[in-house]
Amino acid sequence: MYPLVAIGAPGHDVTVALAYATADNFTGKPVYRPDAGCWLHADAARLLVRAVELARPLGLRLRILDAFRPAEAQWTLWNHTPDPDFLADPRRGSFHSKGVAVDLDLLDAVSGEALDMGTAFDAFTPQSHHGNQDIPAESQRNRHLLMGLMTTAGWDFNRHEWWHYQMFNARENYPLLSDSVLGPEAMMAR
């Protein structure tokens, strides 16, 4: 089996809230099953652990909004909103569909409240770009904090999406994966 690792308790000190397992996403309907698991390639899971370790002493917790996204799900998202500034064309493939990308934000570890990032996850507007100064200063600081944690842990970032991080050299080193690699743990809503 392809080395995908389940992300969540007890092995990973993160909060998992997969946006595409609910109707609370830009498509307005679930793309994944409601009980879909959160998965990453083993190499990406190691980088995630490092980011968790960096966030913990700062009183922060990572909240995973998406991770492995089967190629079928990428087509569903693309067919709904074919916007190459915010979605990878499934003909080229998404880093999510390789299991080496993660969408996330930050939570206060004590209160559990999300830090303000200036836009919602998957807000397909220029305000979602890193370095956008049309958002409050606190939101800019929170984005920089997330970027600092993730890049220090070894992740690359997407300049259009404050929430998206991926492994370096992922296009060359990891294949695209379909939902079938998970067998009975498949993610896709039917």
State pLDDT tens for residues 35-63: 999 999 999 999 999 999 999 999 999 99
pTM score, whole prediction: 0.96
- What is residue 3's predicted lDDT score, i.e. its pLDDT? 85
Domain borders along the chain are: 4-185
How far CA 24 is from CA of 4, 31, 39, in Å, comes to 26, 10, 20
Q: Which residues are catalytic?
A: 161
Query: Position 1: which residue type?
Result: M
pLDDT tens, residue by residue, 74-87: 999 999 999 998 99
* Contact between 5 and 42 (Cβ < 8 Å): yes
What's the N-to-C CA distance of the chain in angstroms? 23
Half-sphere exposure of 74 (CA within 13 A, CB side): 25
- What is residue 32's predicted lDDT score, i.e. its pLDDT? 97
Taking residues 132-147, what's their average pLDDT? 97
Q: Is the pLDDT of residue 9 over 90?
A: no
Q: Is the pLDDT of residue 1 over 80?
A: no
Q: Strand pairing partners for 60?
A: 108
Question: Given this structure, which CATH class describes domain 4-185?
Answer: alpha beta
Name the percent of the chain lying above pLDDT 90: 93
Lowest mean pLDDT of 43-47, 147-151, 184-188, name the range: 184-188
120-134 burial code (b ≥16 CB/10 A, e <16): ebbbeeeebbbebee
